């Protein structure tokens, strides 16, 4: 175990709070970028603002807060004094279904964690002691059938508490913060070591029949090894799931910093095996119900009743993706559903204020940003040529161009006309708009070369 002084210990502890996402900003590597003419701008998809909802600390059936708190307290005896015995051991599937139904009706999309070995209670691909095999299978089926169409599934490492020895599958005997996933275990680890651990978590979800294109870091995981973390995610997702564009959720900012996704470690853009990893950034704190389901949040922090202020208008009005963050125990709030009620009101206010939001899964946002930053674009009199290492729906470009002849998108010998729309707000995939000197088009960008030609 690394030696630490008491002062360092206190300093690290203060930084190692469970909600300690505010990692020091180490240089992460953007990697390659293609040649790009400034004459063509890539806008947001359909010229709308992406919105998404990140749910952390969810899993099958087990209430992570109930099982994790005694383990956190063993590591930090003077913290985590919540009476965990009073918290329910289960967050029932009836609540998952109710939540999923409501979100589907509202068009809400996002990310839902499945912690593979929640607080060492049991393995979601084998046995979850305390519940029957039938309960577990029904819970997994619910996630597969009702959630995966609109939600990415992420592991949040293996247990979200103790570090697991991947050779034996058992937790290490040490219980200091250096053997906790959500604190300091990752300090000094290499990209390969992190990839191996992340891969171990991904394989459990794969065994359980769940799709996955990215990961969420529990608490402080990876905080001091950000470049290695990004590379570890890239390797592990490609190895286990052959993910084309891996992504991860590690950062959230509630200050002036940009919350646009970061496309990192891009390489091989012109070749047969392009690669990158996308860091998805949250823009709110958990102002719903807290990670333990004991802290009541408030709607107004997201968006006020007059719809004019709050964190979400700040982000949406500058056109960056507004990605809200919560914890599943706080949504359920021990049966009172405080977090869920706050979320419902937040969504109602957002939809009352804006008509140009686009709910997206994190993987859809990652794909869009990869295409946005990594597609080589060249404009000539005849048209605009795209060389795209990654395909994406709703690729939206704008340029100054007086010719208003109907454009065609040509790729692989096929040519498809785009439909003209009367206003920019009607822009949808396969459509174009022209006004004054400005031409805007929204197309499903294919991988490889395509040309948007005029006349
Ligand atoms: Zn978490």
Q: What is the CATH number of the domain that holds 242?
A: 3.20.20.370
Distance separating alpha carbons of residues 451 and 453, to the nearest angstrom = 6
pTM of the model: 0.93
pLDDT given at position 24:
45
For residue 9, report the distance from its CA to the centre of ligand 1, in Å: 22
The rounded mean pLDDT for the chain is 93
Pick 1 or 268 by higher pLDDT. 268
401 in the same domain as 335: no
Computed on alpha carbons and rounded to an integer, the radius of gyration of the chain in Å comes to: 23
Distance separating alpha carbons of residues 76 and 17, to the nearest angstrom = 10
Q: Tell me the pLDDT band of 380, cut-offs 50, 70 and 90.
A: confident
- Residue at a domain's end among 348, 368, 388: 368
171 in the same domain as 319: yes
pLDDT given at position 412:
87
Q: What tokens appear for 13 in the block? A: 């502890």
For residue 62, is pLDDT > 50? yes
Print burial letters for 224-243: b (CB count within 10 Å at least 16), e (below 16).
Answer: bbbebbbbbbbbbbbebbeb
For residue 55, report the distance from its CA to the centre of ligand 1, in Å: 9
Main-chain dihedrals φ then ψ at residue 355, nearest 5 degrees: -120, 15
For residue 37, is pLDDT > 80? no
For residue 355, report the distance from its CA to the centre of ligand 1, in Å: 32
Cα-based distances in Å from 224 to 24, 190, 231, 246, 340? 8, 11, 14, 21, 33
Whether the CB-CB separation of 398 and 438 falls below 8 Å is answered with: yes
Q: Tell me the pLDDT band of 404, cut-offs 50, 70 and 90.
A: low
Residue 42 maps to a domain: no
For residue 112, report the distance from its CA to the centre of ligand 1, in Å: 11
426 in the same domain as 364: no
For residue 328, report the distance from its CA to the centre of ligand 1, in Å: 9
Distance separating alpha carbons of residues 191 and 181, to the nearest angstrom = 16
386 Cβ contact list (under 8 Å, min separation 6) = 375, 376, 377, 395, 445, 449, 450, 451, 452
For residue 7, is pLDDT > 90? no
For residue 338, report the distance from its CA to the centre of ligand 1, in Å: 19
For residue 100, report the distance from its CA to the centre of ligand 1, in Å: 20
For residue 282, report the distance from its CA to the centre of ligand 1, in Å: 13
For residue 327, report the distance from its CA to the centre of ligand 1, in Å: 7
For residue 403, is pLDDT > 70? no
141 in the same domain as 80: yes
For residue 167, is pLDDT > 60? yes
288 Cβ contact list (under 8 Å, min separation 6) = 297, 326, 327, 330, 331, 338, 339, 340, 342, 343
Pick 4 or 279 by higher pLDDT. 279
For residue 446, is pLDDT > 50? yes
For residue 326, report the distance from its CA to the centre of ligand 1, in Å: 9
pLDDT given at position 27:
53
409 in the same domain as 279: no
For residue 290, is pLDDT > 60? yes
- Residue at a domain's end among 334, 368, 402: 368
299-357 residue pLDDT tens? 999 999 999 999 999 999 999 999 999 999 999 999 999 999 999 999 999 999 999 99
For residue 15, is pLDDT > 60? no
Residue 32 maps to a domain: no
Average pLDDT, integer, range 91-117: 98
422 in the same domain as 318: no
pLDDT given at position 3:
38
Q: What's the domain count of the chain?
A: 2
Residue 162 maps to a domain: yes
Distance separating alpha carbons of residues 96 and 114, to the nearest angstrom = 12
For residue 44, is pLDDT > 50? yes
**Which domain range does residue 240 map to?**
48-368
pLDDT given at position 10:
37
Beta-strand pair 431-435/40-42? unpaired
Residue 256 maps to a domain: yes
Which range (3-7, 155-159, 271-275, 432-436) has the least confidence? 3-7
400 in the same domain as 364: no
For residue 439, is pLDDT > 80? yes
Q: Which of 433, 432, 440 is nearest to 399 (CA)?
A: 440
194-240 residue pLDDT tens? 999 999 999 999 999 999 999 999 999 999 999 999 999 999 999 99
For residue 289, report the distance from its CA to the centre of ligand 1, in Å: 14
- Residue at a domain's end among 305, 336, 368: 368
pLDDT given at position 35:
82
pLDDT given at position 454:
83
416 in the same domain as 344: no
Distance separating alpha carbons of residues 334 and 353, to the nearest angstrom = 31
For residue 59, report the distance from its CA to the centre of ligand 1, in Å: 11
For residue 430, report the distance from its CA to the centre of ligand 1, in Å: 39
Q: Give the three-state DSSP class for 181.
A: coil
pLDDT given at position 11:
38
């Amino acid at each position: 175990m690394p030696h630490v002084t008491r002062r360092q210990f206190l300093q690290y502890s203060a930084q190692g709070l469970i909600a300690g996402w505010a990692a020091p900003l180490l240089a992460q590597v953007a990697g390659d970028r293609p040649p790009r003419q400034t004459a063509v701008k890539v806008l947001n998809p359909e010229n709308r603002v992406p919105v998404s909802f990140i749910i952390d600390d969810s899993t099958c059936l087990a209430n992570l807060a109930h099982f994790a708190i005694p383990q956190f307290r063993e590591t930090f005896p003077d913290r985590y004094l919540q009476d965990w015995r009073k918290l329910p051991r289960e967050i029932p599937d009836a609540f998952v279904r109710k939540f999923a139904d409501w979100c589907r009706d509202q068009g809400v999309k996002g990310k839902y964690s499945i912690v593979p070995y929640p607080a060492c209670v049991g393995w979601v691909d084998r046995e979850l002691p305390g519940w029957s095999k039938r309960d577990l299978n029904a819970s997994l089926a619910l996630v597969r059938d009702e959630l995966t169409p609109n939600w990415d599934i992420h592991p949040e490492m293996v247990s979200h508490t103790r570090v697991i020895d991947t050779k034996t599958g058992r937790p290490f005997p040490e219980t200091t913060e250096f053997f906790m996933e959500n604190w300091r275990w990752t300090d000094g680890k290499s990209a390969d070591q992190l990839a191996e651990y992340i891969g171990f978590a991904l394989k459990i979800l794969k065994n359980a029949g769940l799709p996955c294109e990215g990961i969420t870091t529990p608490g402080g995981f990876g905080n001091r090894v950000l470049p290695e973390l990004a590379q570890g995610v890239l390797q592990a997702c490609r190895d286990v799931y052959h993910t084309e564009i891996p992504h991860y959720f590690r950062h959230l900012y509630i200050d002036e910093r940009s919350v646009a996704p970061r496309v990192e470690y891009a390489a091989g853009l012109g070749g047969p095996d392009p690669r990158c990893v996308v860091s998805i950034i949250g823009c709110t704190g958990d102002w719903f119900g807290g990670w333990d389901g004991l802290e009541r949040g408030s709607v107004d922090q997201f968006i006020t009743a007059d719809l004019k202020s709050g964190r979400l208008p700040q982000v949406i009005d500058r056109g960056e993706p507004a990605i809200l963050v919560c914890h599943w125990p706080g949504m359920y709030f021990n049966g009172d559903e405080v977090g869920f009620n706050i979320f419902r009101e937040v969504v109602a206010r957002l939809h009352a204020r804006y008509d140009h939001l686009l709910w997206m899964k994190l993987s859809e946002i990652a794909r869009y940003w990869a295409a946005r930053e990594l597609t080589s674009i060249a404009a000539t009199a005849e048209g605009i040529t795209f060389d795209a290492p990654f395909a994406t729906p709703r690729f939206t470009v704008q340029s100054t161009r007086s010719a208003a002849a109907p454009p065609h998108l040509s790729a692989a010998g096929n040519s498809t006309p785009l439909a003209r729309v009367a206003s920019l707000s009607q822009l949808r995939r396969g459509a174009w708009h022209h006004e004054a000197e400005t031409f805007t088009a929204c197309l499903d960008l294919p991988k490889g070369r395509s040309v948007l030609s005029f006349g």
